[in-house]
Amino acid sequence: MSQALTFIQQLRCALAQPKTSVHLCALGIIGGVFAASIIILFRIGIEIIQIYIFEAPNAYPNAHWSVRMIAPFFAVTGILLVAFLTGFKHYRLGIPFVIHRIKAHFGVMPLRTTINQFFGGMLALASGFVVGREGPSVHLGAASSSFMGQALKLPYNSIRILTGCGIAAGISASFNTPLAAIVFVMEVVLREYRIHLFVPVMLAAACGSVMTRAVFGVSTELQLFSYTHINQWMFLYLILVGIGLGALATLFNRQLMFIMTLFRPVNMVWRLAIAAAVTSIAGVILPQALGANFESISHLFNDNPETQFIALILVFKMTLAIVAIGLGIPGGIIGPVMVIGMLAGVLFLVPLSYFIDTNEFRGSFALLGLAGMLAAVLHAPLAALTAVMELAYSPEVILPAILVIVPAYVTSTQFFKNRSVFLQQLDYQKLPYAVNPVRETLEKIGVLAALETDFKLFHDAPQGAIEKYHQSHPTCLIVQKYAFELDISFKFVMCKTQYNSGTVSVHNLDLEGVNAQATLAEVYDNLKRDRRGAVYIYGDDPNKIIGLVTWNQVQQYLQQTYI
């Protein structure tokens, strides 16, 4: 037992350092396996429900109209039941919530939100709501690794990294796209590129891909769309396509935020019921508009539909996605954005149809539309580029995709002043995500990395005894412990020798306690007002000191970082 405790303590000390280590890589793999397992169960659950309701996965057009009409209400009933059983009042789920938890709470995920995301997302995706499975994948993946870190009481700086590993594994397991998962974590969720983050995140993404391939096969959904080489004379037109997609992305984001703001005063039960009613009516009228999966879009294009029919489905898909996500249906936004981008990309082929046969380019423009829409909505151009390249299994798509992504992103941000949809949702929910540079730097270092264990603890000692000890041990840190009837307090003793007289002046400063899982950011918050002194670090028992961290040590770490 003692050996196990010693190993855990060594593990925690190693993970407190902001650097790549074997321990962190091993935990990244384990966290990736946990996350991928949850996502695989999640995907299997969706398929089982769809087979039971629609007789086949995503077979909405083949189902009877009454089934399409009832399914959304069935899902909302289940979502509300799970929310009631877990006592869940504020439906904060998905990628924006995960970004908030990573930035403001070191990636520590609540259990109740995870339960609601698992069952609520499963029901929403299975019943035909136009939401994506990447939102639940990110949330569930983050929670899987986060729970492991919390159970081991690891330093918070390492839990944050493990949460990123879980997200990478979750996306990789959901779409079989390990490279896109890595870039997404760095560009959208963690919003930073640090070398000590890359290796464990890469390993976790690889685990997710390996496990999902073992269960669902090696293919990706967008392999259904074949990329056809685009001639160079069309490159100028691709820039115009990107501008159009940037405008469409801005419209999507603004309408989504409008719906969220408009229905903010409405009770969650009524909001979900309205979303179910709108989806139900649309499912009866146009079943091809249900869901946000790529397979149904591929089948649609294979049937060579009329341009008007594609435009109609685009309008329905966009409306249903805005209503479902804006009213709080637990699902992701990336899936619908991808599908909307694919439909829009094909519609942008219409002007070229007067000059050339465009049928062979449908797959190519669907992929390019996906990339441009994704970049403009999420403000993640690199993630969009890697996603379309990996999903298409074709490096030839890179140059045309860049010619679409860049104008789409610039048009959205510069001309229409559109912001990332995730940041807009965070502001709407009043969830903090911005961290000042000093705190962000210190959050990467656990207190165990700066722990000073060489200190002397006195128990209600007289000042003379402290002065005498300081004269013989001038560099040792000194703590005075005061025991009262109902409380225990600690004082940090600062001793200064007067060199002209040889006397010792003693000053007692209040000594606050910080948990061993904390980072230097918490130490900084405690000491920044006086800019001197120390905090004591404790483990399971707040009254037992395991070490000290001084203000001088915090300054040294900051200087090392910025120099």
Q: What is the 3-state secondary structure (H, E, C) of 467-528?
A: HHHHHHCCCCEEEEEEECCCCEEEEEEEEEECCCCCCEEEEEEECEEEECCCEHHHHHHHHC
Residue carrying structure tokens 């999507």: 252
Contact call for residues 547 and 537 (beta carbons, < 8 A) = yes
273-320 pLDDT, tens digit per residue, is 999 999 999 999 999 999 888 777 877 777 788 889 999 999 999 999
Q: Side chain identity at 297, as an amino acid letter?
A: I
Q: Which residues pair with 538 in a beta bridge?
A: 515, 545
pLDDT at 69: 94
Q: Which residues pair with 515 in a beta bridge?
A: 538
- Percent of the chain scored above 70 by pLDDT? 94
- Percent of the chain scored above 90 by pLDDT? 51
116-150 pLDDT, tens digit per residue, is 999 999 999 999 999 998 889 999 999 999 999 99
Q: What are phi and psi of 204, to 5 degrees?
A: -65, -40
Listed range (268-282, 382-396, 495-509) with the worst mean pLDDT? 495-509
325-365 pLDDT, tens digit per residue, is 999 999 999 999 999 999 999 999 888 888 887 778 888 89
Do 2-219 and 224-428 agree at the fold level? yes
Question: Residue 371: is its pLDDT beyond 80?
Answer: yes
356 Cα distance to chain centroid: 43
Question: Residue 1: is its pLDDT beyond 50?
Answer: no
The whole-angstrom separation of Cα 336 and Cα 314 is 10
pLDDT at 30: 94
Architecture of domain 2-219: Orthogonal Bundle (1.10)
Architecture of domain 442-562: Roll (3.10)
Cα distances (angstroms) measured from residue 46 to each of 61, 75, 120, 486, 511: 17, 12, 11, 55, 53
Average pLDDT over residues 390-417: 90
User: In the chain, what are the domain boundaries?
Assistant: 2-219, 224-428, 442-562
pLDDT at 501: 56
pLDDT at 286: 93
Question: Residue 27: is its pLDDT beyond 80?
Answer: yes
Contact call for residues 338 and 373 (beta carbons, < 8 A) = yes
Average pLDDT over residues 498-521: 79
Question: Residue 259: is its pLDDT beyond 60?
Answer: yes
CATH number assigned to the domain covering 224-428: 1.10.3080.10
The whole-angstrom separation of Cα 127 and Cα 70 is 9
Q: What is the pTM assigned to this prediction?
A: 0.90
Neighbours of 293 (CB within 10 A): 19
Mean pLDDT for all residues in the chain: 88
